[in-house]
């Protein structure tokens, strides 16, 4: 499906470019006609031709279908439980920061360890 989607996107891009160029040519043609006839509001009377409008609509539809086909195999489930299970299996869950946090630390014991360490350093300096 990736190949079909990318081909549709390329075709839609070419159609959009062609329709843009067609509008550009048409506007210059209308300007030329209005200069020759002296009627300035000729473009407002004519409007954009129907074939160019249809070409743009087809290009937009093709681009939507192509973009959908490009992402067809890579979309994941939108159910929160299913998405969490998939992320947990890959080791990348949203609650990993809670699961990997250090255990509860006793601050009094840690303070005593630091004090003993400082005393050992001072004893080594004096000897």
Residue 119: which residues within 8 A CB-CB, separation 6 or more? Answer: none
Residue 30 placed within a domain: yes
- Looking at the structure of the chain, the number of domains it has is 2
What are phi and psi for residue 75, nearest 5 degrees? Answer: -80, 140
Asked if 65 and 84 sit in the same domain, the reply is no
- Residue 92: the pLDDT is 79
pLDDT at 46 over 90: no
- Tell me how far apart the alpha carbons of residues 45 and 40 are, in angstroms, rounded to a whole number: 10
Count of CB atoms situated within 10 Å of the CB of 106:
10
The residue whose two tokens read 């869950």 is 93
For the stretch 3-38, pLDDT in tens is 888 999 999 999 999 999 999 999 888 888 877 777
- Residue 40: the pLDDT is 64
Per the structure, the complete domain to which residue 61 belongs is given by 2-70
Q: What is the pTM of this model?
A: 0.57
Residue 87 placed within a domain: yes
């Amino acid at each position: 499906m990736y190949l079909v989607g990318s081909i549709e996107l390329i075709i839609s891009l070419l159609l959009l470019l062609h329709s843009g160029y067609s509008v550009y040519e048409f506007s210059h043609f209308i300007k030329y006609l209005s200069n020759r006839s002296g009627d300035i509001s000729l473009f407002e009377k004519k409007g954009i031709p129907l074939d160019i409008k249809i070409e743009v609509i087809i290009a937009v539809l093709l681009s939507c279908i192509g973009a959908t086909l490009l992402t067809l195999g890579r979309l994941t489930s939108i159910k929160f439980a299913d998405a969490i299970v998939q992320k947990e299996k890959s080791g990348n869950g949203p609650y990993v920061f809670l699961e990997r946090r250090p255990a509860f630390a006793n601050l009094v014991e840690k303070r005593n360890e630091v004090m003993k360490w400082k005393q050992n350093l001072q004893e080594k300096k004096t000897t």
